[in-house]
Structure 1
Amino acid sequence: MAIALKATIFSYVVHVLGVAGAIMVLVWCISFRGGFAWEASNKSLIFNLHPVLILIGLIIFGGEAIISYKTLPWTKDVKKLIHLVLHAIALILGIIGVYAAFKYHNESNIANLYSLHSWIGIGVIVLYGIQWVYGFVVFFYPGGTDAIRRESLPWHVLFGILVYILAISNATLGFLEKLTFLENSGLAKYGTEAFLVNFTAVVTVLFGIFVILTTLSQPATEDEYAYSEI
């Protein structure tokens, strides 16, 4: 009972941090950076799509997808579908977010893939895509044999958590990189925007931590709702 209560509290914290992170990145990009556009003379409006789609998509939807299978009180088939769909949304938004960064660079005559953040980002998207496709084929459709599922599940879970940790780390690196560029262009180092960006990064890290804590704190049960029965 104590373990289940702890897991429930962790999941509530995840949701609160997710909402807070989404609001903070939207406030930053709308109120401080001028909003969004797919086509604009001000190319920074194109870039603003990148942090919003990555944080809300890859990080928040991705985190909710991870904990959904462990926290929702429904049958394994329903939870499996929700897990799959949330990860698909996360991946699609993440891909669009990465493309927005490339579009901004290309239209601003800025080189692509010159930073560690960009290198890791491409790796995260590729690994996330591989993880999703493998999960779809083995656990959803057409579905692997019982033996393949049983052998694959621990590695699927471990690989997914590692990719997610890498995504959180790279998102934090991205906030640092962008803030450094802005400060080098004259943004006040102790101004409101700088603090907002830093706190958004902190909330992102805390969100990732509580996603992992929620996942690891769930009690292991062997019934039709169990994670191991995927």
Structure 2
Amino acid sequence: MGNSPPPSSSLFPVLLFARICGVAVAMLVLSWALAFKSSFLPRSSSQEDLIYSVLHPLLMVIGFILVSGEAILVHRWLPGSRNMKKSVHLWLQGVALGSGVFGIWTKFHGQDGVLGNFYSLHSWMGLICVSLFGVQWLMGFLSFWHRGEARLIRMKVLPWHVFLGLYTYGLAVATAETGLLEKLTFLQTRRNVDKHGSESMVVNSLGLGLALLSGMVILAAVSPKYQSLQTKLMYSRSEPKNLTS
């Protein structure tokens, strides 16, 4: 495999803003989890359950959404061959998948059990999202290590792989937004958290940061200028050489 085309310079502002949003999201979710621990106290009030309750947003936002977003951006900034980009992409997606699975397990670990935590739109969307992500990663893993298949088949599957990857990433962000709304509504109605207080501002800012981040990541992934360059190179490599008489 040869080297893939270099990223267009027009993508630099998008990539930079995506990184800024990612850092802001990480700082916000860390601040929420560490500065407002009382909001994550479960009914049992045990230290172990508190740790699992705090770990859930950290794993799902930083480990799942941020890492999977970085895996998507790898194809836009990392220099080198396609195989190296694919291996880094696959490794990062594996880390994101492990974080997502463990993040869901932290919710099922509590005293309420599986059914007690599996009742809301957020929980259903989260399970569907991680399941789709697992299927997507497995398909990528098999495709990466089994390169004997016909190139035409791989080219036909690639658009569906890209679509499912971006759809799952968008679904993950939407799932996080429903979780933030569900948690904030609970805090404001049952624990008398001020709607204009600092915690409400942190959670709302986190939701806004996730929305901006997802937009930048998806924009970088479907950038028309980069895609047009990639298509031209692909067709130029696949065109048969002119025969001279």
Letter in 2 for 1:159: L
SS state of the match for residue 48, structure 1? helix
Where does residue 176 of structure 2 map in the other structure?
A: 171
Alignment of 1:1-230 (within 5 A): 4-33=8-37, 41-42=46-47, 43-104=49-110, 106=112, 111-138=116-143, 140-143=144-147, 144-185=149-190, 186-217=192-223, 219-220=226-227, 221-222=229-230
Shift of 1:187: 1.1
Q: Which runs of 5+ in 1 are unaligned?
A: none
Letter in 2 for 1:106: D
Shift of 1:116: 0.4
Give the whole-Å Cα distance in 1 for the aligned partners of 2:230 and 2:28. Answer: 40
Give the whole-Å Cα distance in 1 for the aligned partners of 2:204 and 2:109. Answer: 25
Give the whole-Å Cα distance in 1 for the aligned partners of 2:129 and 2:15. Answer: 24
Give the whole-Å Cα distance in 2 for the aligned partners of 1:110 and 1:189. Answer: 30
Give the whole-Å Cα distance in 2 for the aligned partners of 1:222 and 1:216. Answer: 11
Letter in 2 for 1:6: S
**Is the 8 Å Cα contact of residues 165 and 208 (structure 1) preserved in structure 2?**
yes
Give the whole-Å Cα distance in 1 for the aligned partners of 2:230 and 2:20. Answer: 30
Letter in 1 for 2:168: V
Letter in 1 for 2:78: L
Shift of 1:45: 3.2
Shift of 1:118: 0.3
Give the whole-Å Cα distance in 2 for the aligned partners of 1:26 and 1:110. Answer: 28
Give the whole-Å Cα distance in 2 for the aligned partners of 1:205 and 1:63. Answer: 12
SS state of the match for residue 112, structure 2? helix
Give the whole-Å Cα distance in 2 for the aligned partners of 1:28 and 1:213. Answer: 28
What is the alpha-carbon root mean square deviation over aligned residues?
2.6
Letter in 1 for 2:135: I
Give the whole-Å Cα distance in 2 for the aligned partners of 1:158 and 1:203. Answer: 23
Give the whole-Å Cα distance in 2 for the aligned partners of 1:29 and 1:63. Answer: 21
Give the whole-Å Cα distance in 1 for the aligned partners of 2:20 and 2:183. Answer: 25
Shift of 1:110: 7.8
> Which sits farther off after the overlay, 183-192 or 28-37?
28-37
Structure exhibiting the larger radius of gyration computed from Cα positions: 2
**Is the 8 Å Cα contact of residues 39 and 187 (structure 2) preserved in structure 1?**
no
**Is the 8 Å Cα contact of residues 35 and 48 (structure 1) preserved in structure 2?**
no
Shift of 1:150: 1.0
Q: Which runs of 5+ in 2 are unaligned?
A: 1-6, 238-245
**Is the 8 Å Cα contact of residues 36 and 46 (structure 1) preserved in structure 2?**
no
Change in CA separation of 1:9 and 1:178 when aligned onto 2, cut-off 3 Å: same
